[in-house]
Amino acid sequence: MNGLRLIPLGGMGHVTQNMYLYEYEDEILIVDCGIGFPDMYMPGVDILIPDTAYLMKQLEEGFHIAGMLLTHGHDDHIAATPYILPELPDFPMYGSPLTAGFAENRMQDMEKPRKVNVLQDKKWCKIGKYFEVMPLAMTHSVPDTKHYIIKTPEGIVYHGTDFKLDQKPIDGVLPDYDSIEELGKAGVDLMLMDCLRVEKKGWVKSESTCGPAIEEAMMNIKGKALVTLMSSHIHRIQQTINAAAKCGRKVAFVGRSVEQNVEVALSLKKLNVPMGMIIDKHDITNTADSELCVIIAGSQGQEGSSLIRAIYGEHPILRINSQDKVIFSADAIPGNDVPYYAAIDELFRNGVEVVYPSLSPDIHQSGHAGAEEQRTLLSMVMPRYVMPIGGADRHRVLFKTMVAGQVGIEEKRVLVPGDGDIIMLKDGQISYPEQITIRGRAVDGLGIGDVGPRVISDRLALGNAGMIVIVLPRDRKNGQFHLDQMQVVSRGFVYMQDAEEVVKFIKDQTANFISQEKKKKTDTSLRIRLEKMIARKLFSIIRREPMIVVSFIDV
């Protein structure tokens, strides 16, 4: 029949918005359901979520969802669930204990919160009629990350999501090399594999190297030690707690995401905290600064985060003073260095000592495998086909030569499909039978998907040069314009003191245009020509392109 069809709904060449469909006959297995982060070309947008149009179409045509696997607890793999699940029918969900905990947390505000079933490592679990899956232990920047082996009627797929090969993981749980090698010997037909850090030639350092760096940074602080990090990074939090214990400091957690994730991790015993070491954040002010370590959300300098509010004196319970030290145990996410360094600069301006990766490189380590680690994992599995995922297009292309080529996998066995390509595995062969359109859906406030390309391009234009609205009253009886009652409203275009002159210019030009206009044009044609004329005149005078909107009002 159709073979096994693999459909990446988050698109290819996007690092985030992870959501993969495995489709066989009328059955669909979903892997991950994550959000993406808008860049400077998507102003006002809060998050992006995968495009489920294809999935909805298949459901209408009688397909059903066998289940959803979650690979690990990062938001770009789980956090689209509250947006996407309400539009889908019920189906079982699966993940590791911590991933299940984080995902259930994300879904708690849904009308019908879902449960996530916990799968056991190295055990096959039947999902639907056609799929069997087995989780294998893997290391990454969140504990309990799994690589999934998916047995399908067309063969074995290795779903190798975000990973690094940490030789000294904090929880002692090494990647399951034995099972992976065994699997490789048995034969894997298709392997999907994280390629994000292919530009890094060797190995990424172990997470365990961060602990000593955090400890060193925490020595000899007169005031509070504040450590900011990714809130899901439980191992980093563990190491910070360990460092605080050595330095005789109690630990408080500040920031919704950190507090929630710590609560889940503690309840699952994924965090190991000496008795009495945690204090409630409301007791911060009752504790001596020198005996306090605050683990705080906002490591990207995000507006509204606890760290930023504390830095600018707007946090209800936390103040930062010049005896304190702030430790950024996180790099700036690509595209985000402006707010990240703005936070650091503000702290320096306030006389606060700051440690960040440029000054202490081991204070943060990436959770993604370098090229040599990718080769190591790939050479254990040696699949028939390999498809790099989780990277930008440059990473996917580089993977061909820098990873696959070097372990002896020929280029034609490395799959670099285009955005929207459906990948089919049938009788041991790969083909691309169909291309679908993938559009990231924007979530803005409470609206999902109502901010489309047109709204975005309008926002970009408005943000670049503002807007001018020309209101022209017209006599509804005789169709004559009342030019003397024309109104011009402008925002974001020029300094208000100069606006009067500009308004007069626009009014004169408009009046001139209208009075010279021959009758019998449609409103739309007249409006558009007037808008273009004003835009052209303004551009020639000042080389700016505000959005011009003409509105006729019949009175």
Question: Of 189-228, which residues contact a copy of itself (CB under 8 A)?
Answer: 199
Interaction of residue 182 with a copy of itself, rule CB under 8 A: no
Tokens 């905290």 map to which residue? 273
Question: Of 535-554, which residues contact a copy of itself (CB under 8 A)?
Answer: 539, 541-544, 547, 549, 551, 553-554
Given candidates 56, 288, 359, 528, which one binds a copy of itself under the rule CB under 8 A?
359
Interatomic CA distance for residues 315 and 333, integer angstroms = 24
Q: Considering beta carbons, is residue 322 or 429 the nearer one to a copy of itself?
A: 322
Question: Of 471-530, which residues contact a copy of itself (CB under 8 A)?
Answer: 471, 473, 482, 485, 487, 489, 491-496, 498
> Min. distance of Cβ 538 from a copy of itself in angstroms?
9
Interaction of residue 304 with a copy of itself, rule CB under 8 A: no
Tell me the three state secondary structure of residue 157.
strand
Given candidates 87, 182, 283, 393, which one binds a copy of itself under the rule CB under 8 A?
393
Beta strand 429-435 with 421-426: parallel, antiparallel or unpaired? antiparallel
> Min. distance of Cβ 68 from a copy of itself in angstroms?
27
Name 247's Cβ contacts closer than 8 Å, sequence gap at least 6: 215, 218, 219, 221, 225, 293
Interatomic CA distance for residues 158 and 386, integer angstroms = 9
Contact 36, 17 (CB under 8 A): yes
Question: Of 417-476, which residues contact a copy of itself (CB under 8 A)?
Answer: 444-447, 449-452, 454-455, 458-467, 469, 471, 473
Q: Considering beta carbons, is residue 199 or 434 the nearer one to a copy of itself?
A: 199
240: left (phi > 0), else alpha (psi -120 to 50), else beta?
alpha
Residue 311 amino acid letter: I
Q: Considering beta carbons, is residue 48 or 127 the nearer one to a copy of itself?
A: 48
The token pair at 428 is 């041991």
Given candidates 174, 398, 436, 535, which one binds a copy of itself under the rule CB under 8 A?
398
Strand partners, 328: 228
Q: Considering beta carbons, is residue 115 or 504 the nearer one to a copy of itself?
A: 504
Contact 481, 553 (CB under 8 A): no
Integer-rounded Cα radius of gyration of the chain: 28
Interatomic CA distance for residues 235 and 233, integer angstroms = 6
Question: Of 320-349, which residues contact a copy of itself (CB under 8 A)?
Answer: 334-335, 337-338, 341, 344-346, 348-349
Spatial CA neighbour of 343 closest among 298, 303, 301: 301
**What are residue 378's phi and psi, to 5 degrees?**
-65, -40
> Min. distance of Cβ 85 from a copy of itself in angstroms?
20
The token pair at 374 is 């990718």
Question: Of 104-163, which residues contact a copy of itself (CB under 8 A)?
Answer: none
> Min. distance of Cβ 201 from a copy of itself in angstroms?
9
Interatomic CA distance for residues 341 and 192, integer angstroms = 35
> Min. distance of Cβ 546 from a copy of itself in angstroms?
9
> Min. distance of Cβ 268 from a copy of itself in angstroms?
32
> Min. distance of Cβ 343 from a copy of itself in angstroms?
10
Compute CA 247 distance to the chain's CA centroid, rounded to the nearest angstrom.
Answer: 35
Spatial CA neighbour of 93 closest among 113, 63, 75, 111: 113
Q: Considering beta carbons, is residue 288 or 342 the nearer one to a copy of itself?
A: 342
> Min. distance of Cβ 539 from a copy of itself in angstroms?
8
Contact 255, 305 (CB under 8 A): yes
Strand partners, 473: 553
> Min. distance of Cβ 98 from a copy of itself in angstroms?
30
Strand partners, 134: 149
Q: Considering beta carbons, is residue 262 or 534 the nearer one to a copy of itself?
A: 534
Q: Considering beta carbons, is residue 29 or 363 the nearer one to a copy of itself?
A: 363
Instruction: Tell me the CA distances in angstroms from 499 to 502, 520, 531, one per residue in order.
Output: 5, 33, 18
The token pair at 282 is 């409301």
Q: Considering beta carbons, is residue 142 or 352 the nearer one to a copy of itself?
A: 352
Given candidates 2, 44, 433, 532, which one binds a copy of itself under the rule CB under 8 A?
44
Q: Considering beta carbons, is residue 428 or 452 the nearer one to a copy of itself?
A: 452
> Min. distance of Cβ 496 from a copy of itself in angstroms?
6
